[in-house]
Chain A
């Protein structure tokens, strides 16, 4: 085998390796997304500890993720968003307290005072690559994806 032939062969091997790794990454993202959907579906939207879990949605726009988090009746000044690794921790106080018994006959004396949730992304978040907007009790987070090595 000549040097040229060997280099062509080696480039093909590397290309196949790249494609396999790429498909593994895509599959990993798909599985993580499905697991997140299952987790969200099974998790109650409120806790006896007195907090509500907000509704949120996530869109992959290629170079960035856009998250919309619905926080109706939240005190805008109390919205607290922290980033840790690949997770987003959200807390926001409610403007008015709500008893679960106002909405349903059950729930005992549980009183809701805040929103609380943890959202997982498929990559580590750099807080410097995040922009935030608030509107009508909803927040929009734009999170730039890290560049792959």
Chain B
């Protein structure tokens, strides 16, 4: 273990010393709509062969869980890294009251690591997902220069609506901290793992980061991934229900 930092009820641990090259990116993937972010991040970690460099834990806000990976004991929120990419990945959803502190912990960490752009990956629940073949991708960004890149891959700005969950808090905290942040959302199922949406989402994200990621495997192995992700989806559903995720379906009365 290299170092530990306590931040409120959270503890951030680094297993080794590492520095990021500029421009550095961070990708946050929390278990959310259709597990779109988590499935995509999992694929990214695998294809880029990212090294696990740390993690975040909380004995108050997270379930008493140790993740066992390749015989190693790991923390529930895991941090992977390459030269210029940090991936924060969790299959466990903290309770909503933990989101404000967790957002601050992560943003503080990204700043210390010299991250210049925070990316977040999520699904956007659509009621007719069963019928859809062409999935639309939307974005919300505080960094205007990425708009051209995202429009180039067919993504559209998310104009009006509501966001519920950890990403909503991250966006608000990032705005307060004046950190460039982009949320990329792809139409997906709410209650079922959606690797097809993850593939589409990852295509857009990889363009922003400036890397090439082959997402063919996500499409080809979609059914196998859906089988394997059943437990993670089942575990996250009560949290999505409690945080009133269905607000995202609502029609806004925006002025």
Contacts and interface: CB of A to CB of B under 8 A. Distances in A.
B223 A73 contact: yes
B130 A45 contact: no
A40 B228 CA distance: 17
Centre residue among A52, A55, A73, A105 by max chain B CB count within 10 A: A55
Interface in A74-124: 98, 103, 105
A64 to B, nearest CB: 14
**Could you say which interface size class chain B belongs to?**
20 to 34
State the 7 A-B residue pairs at the shortest beta-carbon distance, nearest first.
A72-B223, A72-B226, A57-B191, A73-B223, A70-B192, A72-B227, A45-B230
A147 interface: no
Given A70-B226, A137-B223, A37 B130 contact: no
A68 B222 CA distance: 17
Interface stretch (B36-44, B100-108, B166-174, B231-239): B231-239
A149 interface: no
A135 B68 CA distance: 35
A52 B227 CA distance: 9
B224 interface: yes
A41 interface: yes
Nearest to B192: A70
Contact of B226 (A40, A103, A133, A137): A137
Interface in B194-248: 222-224, 226-228, 230-231, 233-234, 238, 241
A142 to B, nearest CB: 11
7 contacts: A45-B234, A55-B234, A72-B222, A72-B226, A72-B227, A137-B223, A140-B130
B192 A55 contact: yes
Nearest to A38: B238
Contacts of B68: 105
B74 to A, nearest CB: 14
A138 B223 CA distance: 10
Nearest to B194: A70
